[in-house]
Amino acid sequence: MKTLGLIGGMSWESTAIYYRLINEMVRVRLGGVHSAKLLLWSFDFFDIAERQHAGDWAGATAMMINTARKLEDGGAEAIVICTNTMHMMAGDVQAAISIPVIHIADATANAMKEADVSRPILLATRFTMEQDFYKGRLVEKHDIRPFVPDTDGRDTVHRIIYEELVRGVVKADSKVEYEQLVSRMRREHHVDSLIMGCTEITMLIGQADFDILVFDTTAIHARAAVEWALG
């Protein structure tokens, strides 16, 4: 079993889900009392979120690179960035280290290809929905064409993530808002699936809430990491 280096704390709510899923998957694969070989760096999310909303992506990138190098020096054999948004600097992180970064968008795209869908709704932070690092990778590398909500919809999704989910707050009213948003988008676009493109969204909605395929990027990314670690 190879050692995975997790960059977490963005937020710790979803990092805890990663930790549980990876260990559960290893136990299922290997049986007995097996668990994953992990190194975990958990940020104080305040420091990350402050830079995100200030647009200080250079500062955030420097923090990510520094952490990835520490994990590599500590014995990690691959890096798992435990968030969709911070894959914005995945390329810079990869260029700074000699071990692979297991990319969440590639793992999600591979799962979508296996399911033969290619026109998803993408719900995520405003940064992921509005910038091209994630959507562009899906289009250019995988021929998957995501649809994002309009301005009001993006504001709603982002607000619920940062004011509620990253703080561990899960509200029934917010779930309804997400479900209504998806319903509107299905009427407006010819979509065939939904990407939960923020790792905290799995706390609020899931496959049981919809009759289209839902791709839980947290679970998909964790599975890809385990498959890599176990070979």
Q: Which residues are catalytic?
A: 83, 198
Quick check: 14 and 86 in contact, CB under 8 A? no
Residues 154, 126 contacting (CB under 8 angstroms):
yes
Which two structure tokens, joined as six digits, stand for 167?
Answer: 């703080």
Give the Cα separation of 200 and 48 in Å (integer): 15
**Tokens for 139?**
């289009």
Using alpha carbons, list the distances in angstroms from residue 102 to 6, 9, 20, 47, 109.
10, 17, 18, 24, 13
| CA-to-CA dists, residue 64 to 75, 107, 133, 146, angstroms | 17, 20, 16, 27
Q: How far apart are CA 132 and CA 137, in angstroms?
A: 8
Contact indicator for 119, 91 with CB cutoff of 8 Å: no
From the number of C-beta atoms within 10 Å of its C-beta (0-12, 13-18, 19+), residue 65 rates as middle
**Token reading at 159:** 């607000």
Which amino acid would we find at residue 4?
A: L
